[in-house]
């Protein structure tokens, strides 16, 4: 049975923003402020208009509740190799395809970090650790 997600592409952005507000321990976040300009649109519109710099934060906050078609748009916006590597370690819900999308952003670019992963000095949450 396909997994059901709380957020779908046609979910009103206002509902997504409400979820964001309850998932952060700050009363207001810069990223939420920027997302609020999309209140009358859909989740797909909101994700498409997410700034690159807000994409990692949005993935951390909403990724578990959004389908891969929305998450992949956000992953594509991640540019920095170590930010991509950190998400790769931290997000236990990544699909194998999403693993590959993130790997393309850091493979061969972080020799120390990649060696640490191979040696088990840092580990992936997907494999049962709670590493950040």
Partner 1 sequence: MAVTAYKTPGTCASVDRGDKAGWLDLDNAKVSNNAYAYTPGDKNDYFDWLRVTNFGFTTSDIPSGATIDGIEIKIEHYGTAADVIKDSALYLRKTSGQVGDNKASASAWATSDEEITYGGAADKWGYAWLASDIISSNFGVDLSPLNTDPDNIEGSYVDVISIRVYYTAPSGDHRRGSFFKMF
- State which residue, 1 or 132, has the beta carbon closest to partner 1: 132
Residue number with CB closer to partner 1 (3 or 118): 118
Q: Nearest 5°: phi and psi at 131? A: -65, 140
For partner 1, the closer of residues 89 and 94 by Cβ is 89
- Contact between 11 and 19 under an 8 Å Cβ cutoff? The reply is no
Minimal distance in Å, beta carbon 48 to partner 1? 21
Beta bridge partners of 42: 12
Q: Are 78 and 102 in contact (CB under 8 A)?
A: yes
Binding site for partner 1 (CB under 8 A): 24-26, 29, 53, 56-57, 60-61, 80-83, 85-86, 89-90, 109-113, 116-117, 121-122, 131-132
Q: How far is the CB of 39 from partner 1 (least distance, A)?
A: 22
Task: List Cβ neighbours of 74 (8 Å cut-off, separation of 6 or more).
Answer: 47, 50, 55, 58, 59, 63
């Amino acid at each position: 049975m396909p997994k059901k997600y709380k957020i779908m592409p046609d979910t009103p952005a206002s509902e997504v923003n409400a979820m964001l507000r309850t998932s952060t321990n700050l009363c207001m976040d810069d990223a939420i402020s920027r997302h609020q300009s999309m209140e009358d649109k859909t989740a797909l519109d909101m994700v498409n208009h997410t700034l690159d710099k807000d994409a990692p934060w949005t993935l951390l906050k909403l990724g578990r509740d959004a389908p891969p078609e929305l998450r992949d748009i956000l992953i594509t916006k991640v540019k920095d190799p170590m930010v991509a590597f950190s998400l790769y370690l931290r997000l236990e819900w990544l699909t194998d395809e999403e693993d590959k999308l993130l790997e393309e952003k850091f493979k061969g670019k972080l020799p120390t970090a990649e060696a640490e992963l191979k040696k088990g000095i840092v580990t992936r949450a997907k494999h049962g650790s709670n590493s950040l």
